[in-house]
Amino acid sequence: MNRRQLLVGSASLMILTRPLRADTEDKLFDSWLSTQYANQPRSHEGVTVTLPALAENGNSVALTVEVQSPMQPDDYIQTIDVFAPLNPVPHLGRFYLNPATGIAKVSTRIRLGGDQTVHAVAATFDGRLLLGGADIVVTEAACLDFLI
């Protein structure tokens, strides 16, 4: 193989690997979602995940999840789950809300094991699921020891 073939080959490999990785991520997320919440209606609306576009260090990344909801006794968000498919423990946490919370918005700092889409799943009091996510590029993963 000459230099040109190698360059073309590696470039096409780079283009090919990204959707493949995204595919396995989505599969992981979907299987987790169906074990946690089987057969509940889902929609991709109302959930805003705020993350920096790029994190130099995956050890502590600011995350905010906000869900559009009146947060009244007859219509409120009960739980918010955060899921990072490429982490060794992908489920990062679950937040329990109720009408006293007033607004469905939580912030925390998370660890990330690499470039990925961080998902948030909000479950309403009557069992509907609202999904949202944000992409992030992580220069230095949090779990380097684990990966090596």
Residues interacting with other proteins, by CB under 8 A?
Answer: 59-61, 71, 82, 84, 87-103, 105-112, 143, 145-146
Identify which of residues 106 and 122 has a Cβ nearer to other proteins in the complex: 106
Nearer to other proteins, 112 or 120 (CB): 112
Backbone angles phi, psi at 24, to 5 degrees: -65, -35
Residue type, 116: Q
CB of 84 to other proteins, least distance (A): 6
CB of 13 to other proteins, least distance (A): 29
Q: Are 56 and 140 in contact (CB under 8 A)?
A: yes
Q: Of 70 and 127, which CB lies nearer to other proteins in the complex structure?
A: 70
* Smallest distance from other proteins to CB 4, Å: 41
- Comparison of 82 and 130: residue with beta carbon closer to other proteins: 82
Closest C-alpha among 99, 9, 110, 130 to residue 50: 110
Q: Which of 128, 35, 138, 45 is nearest to 84 (CA)?
A: 138
Residue 121 and residue 81 in contact, taking contact as beta carbons nearer than 8 Å: yes
Nearest distance from C-beta of residue 9 to other proteins, angstroms: 34
Helix (H) or strand (E) holding 86: none
